[in-house]
Structure 1
Amino acid sequence: MFDHAKWVSYAATVYTWLEDNDRAEEHALETIQMHTLPDGTSNAPMRTYTTARRALTTGRPDLLD
């Protein structure tokens, strides 16, 4: 079974390793958007947390807003 949401999160990590920060940011934002519920909580808190942390490593802490 293919888990698209997990793939997007992993892609953000890989792009960070490759220092392609624009694509890492794109995938990090998509991951956060996919897992943020209407009340602002997350249905995948660990995945969202690690993606947000990854966003910080790209020098863009504003992604956490």
Structure 2
Amino acid sequence: MNALIEISDVWMSYGATQVLRGINLSAEEGDFIVIRGKSGAGKTTLLKIMGLLEPPDKGEVKIFGKATRM
């Protein structure tokens, strides 16, 4: 089965503050994913990147196997 969403080596920072460092994630149809962490750990940033609301500084996001460009 192909991944519905695939995140490869995603990095993101706000100014000098690095919030995501080399994140990798793959989810197929029917998968259940939990994103947890302390305040400021980058959970919301990851969701924004997954929803194509914000581009990552580095890395790739694929949806239905197609690379996204923002």
Shorter-chain TM-score tier: under 0.3
**Which structure has the larger Rg?**
2
Greater relative CO, 1 or 2 (CA 8 Å, sep 6+): 2
The alignment's TM-score, normalised by the length of structure 1, stands at 0.25
User: Larger % of helix: which?
Assistant: 1
TM-score when normalising by structure 2: 0.24
Q: Which one has a larger percent strand, Structure 1 or Structure 2?
A: 2
